[in-house]
Structure 1
Amino acid sequence: MKKFINDPGDVVAQALRGLAAAHPELRVDPENQLVVRADAPVRGKVGIVSGGGSGHEPLHGGFVGPGMLDAACAGEVFTSPVPDAILAATRAVDGGAGVLHIVKNYTGDVLNFEMAAELAGDDDITVETVLVDDDVAVQDSTWTAGRRGTGATVIVEKVTGALAEERASLKDVAAIGRTVNERSGSFAVALTAATTPAAGRPGFDLPDDEMEVGVGIHGEPGRRRAPLAPAADVAALMVDAILEAKPATGTAIVLLNGLGGTPLLELYLLYGEVAALLESRDVRIGRSLVGNYVTSLDMAGASLTICHADDEILRLWDAWVRTPGLRRGV
């Protein structure tokens, strides 16, 4: 294992200290592993909290700031944040209009966010939850009951964050988040496994001439192992799987996401294949995003997310945002 680390047991806290040094506009608590926007709580605005295991950067801490998340909880690598941290984040962003929890559908995340929401209720903080379960690859997996939450999380966080900035109600902010999730499908393909700092070796064996089709962002098994294929065939696999599960035509937001170890050269090449396929299926790409947004440490691979978007979703997607991982209009 070759990594820029000091102590494998202290990677997350040290990375958060680096985030704080690079982005003084954020309030970062490395000990409790929280990232909070500097002006939180904002009075009269719905606070938005998300989080999950570290190793998926910039998700979630990189999306904290005006126009997106108010706070993020960073668990240990590929491990859910604890309820106390989620509760602390919820309290930190409560401006009197309630708090929205955006939760990827993994068992630990779901249970810990549920517990934190109950504890917040004891403090008279109203909490709504949007559960993201966009991964169409498998119905159940190593760490989930139901579909996994993956790339659509970025779109949910961006759209809900924009509506919250307009001082919409908690009910309306939660509703738009659920709509985005329902209209989104994602699918990932891995060429290599990720190596966690604590393990020091790849999380699974994948021969050089094979790929994992439908892999999860923690390295969970996908639909099958398949022979390594050209980018055009990989694009077809992903597009077919998503449109089969979430059939639609019209306008879409398309995210072609790197899993951490894939060069942009390859991501743009793959996106070109995806764009041609979608055009042939009467899906118009209204907005696009290509790059590393929901990673899996150093895994070589890519995920595709297609969100069938109406005018309101597109308007909120286009709204200004100022975070380390996504910045627009400011």
Structure 2
Amino acid sequence: MKKLINSVDTVLSDSLHGFCRAHGDILVAGDDLKFVRRKDLKQGKVALISGGGSGHEPLHGGFVGHGMLDAACPGQVFTSPTPDQMIAAVEAVDTGAGALFIVKNYEGDVMNFEMAAEMAVGEVATVLTNDDVAVEDSLYTTGRRGVAGTLVVEKIVGAAAEAGGDLASLKALGDKVNARTRSMGVALTSCTVPAAGKPMFEIGDGEMEMGVGIHGEPGRRRVQLATAEEIAAEMTGAILRDLGEAASGEVLLFVNGFGATPAMELYLMYGEAVKSVEAAGLSIARSLVGNYVTALDMAGCSITVTVLDEEMKRFWDASVHTAALRWGM
């Protein structure tokens, strides 16, 4: 294993120190690195808090800042953060309007965020993301996995919070965005967790894992490597079938890299996904391409489709200033 690390025991803390130094104009670290939070809090605003296992950067810390999250709680690699991290984050960023947790549907995340919501002082609501159409259950989840669609929820709800939305309306909006969002991923290689020192799973040179999860969980099936056109057609087809009658009008098309896929290939996949989406009669109103919800060094990508309405478009377009997303400022 070749990694740019000092030791497997300090990889997360070392990374967080560097992250906060690089983006000190936007965010600061909480005590004992339990969370990172927005540097300049907006009084009277509902606080948005998310988090999860590390290894998916820039999710979630890279989305802390104006127009998105107020705090993010990083767990160890592919491991849920603990309730005390979330409680500390609430105490640091809740300015009196309550807090909204945005939680990916993984068993540890759900359990720990639920415990934190029960123990936190002040009003707390939760939006659960479960956009992955590949499989209903895995080692990590009960029900569908929360994957790249989480970014879409965080961006749209974050803009609504910045505009002054109350806790109830923000939860309703988050649930709506999640319900109108579907994703599916494909892996060409495994990822390597530093503590393990070897790939999480074996995959042949001529194989791919269709429907893989962001922790390297198995997908729908192991198949022979196909062309980008064929891969994109299968993924978008599964997404649109799952959306059913809701798949109409304008959509956001988001092609996300898993960490080791170059931009050239991601844009190529975007171009192929466009063909399938437009062939289904949909209009692509907004786009995003890049490595945003990763799986360490896994090669592959996911495709996300969100069916937009005017409110969602307005909040997607609203200004954002974070380490990983910046526009309109």
Query: Which residue is equivalent to 1:78?
Result: 78
TM-score by length of 1: 0.98
Q: Say whether residues 1:34 and 2:31 are aligned partners.
A: no
Aligned partners of 2:170 and 2:79: how far apart in 1? 27
Structure 1 position 276, deviation (Å): 1.1
Aligned partners of 1:72 and 1:20: how far apart in 2? 12
| 3-state SS, counterpart of residue 16 of structure 2 | helix
Q: Say whether residues 1:186 and 2:186 are aligned partners.
A: no
Structure 1 position 32, deviation (Å): 3.1
Identical-residue share of aligned pairs (%):
56
Q: Say whether residues 1:141 and 2:138 are aligned partners.
A: yes
Query: Which residue is equivalent to 1:202?
Result: 199
Query: Which residue is equivalent to 1:126?
Result: 123
Is the Cα–Cα contact under 8 Å of residues 34 and 88 in structure 2 kept in the other structure? no
Deviations 1:212-249 (A, max 9, x none): 00000000000000000000000011111101111212
TM-score by length of 2: 0.98
Q: How does 1:202-281 map to 2 (within 5 A)?
A: 202-247=199-244, 248-281=247-280
Ranges in structure 1 where 5+ consecutive residues have no aligned partner: none
Aligned partners of 1:140 and 1:67: how far apart in 2? 32
Q: How does 1:265-304 map to 2 (within 5 A)?
A: 265-304=264-303
Query: Which residue is equivalent to 2:88?
Result: 88
Aligned partners of 1:63 and 1:30: how far apart in 2? 19
Q: Say whether residues 1:313 and 2:317 are aligned partners.
A: no
* AA in 2 matched with 1:185: R
Deviations 1:49-84 (A, max 9, x none): 000000000000000001000000000000000000
Structure 1 position 107, deviation (Å): 0.2
* AA in 2 matched with 1:200: G
Structure 1 position 290, deviation (Å): 0.3
Deviations 1:160-188 (A, max 9, x none): 11000111110011111110000000000
Aligned partners of 1:259 and 1:323: how far apart in 2? 20
* AA in 2 matched with 1:287: R
Superposition CA RMSD, Å: 0.8
* AA in 1 matched with 2:319: W
Structure 1 position 30, deviation (Å): 7.2
Query: Which residue is equivalent to 2:20?
Result: 20
Deviations 1:76-116 (A, max 9, x none): 00000000001101111111111000000000000000000
Deviations 1:178-219 (A, max 9, x none): 100000000000000000110111000001111000000000
* AA in 2 matched with 1:294: V
Moved more, 30-39 or 185-194: 30-39
| 3-state SS, counterpart of residue 65 of structure 2 | coil
Ranges in structure 2 where 5+ consecutive residues have no aligned partner: none
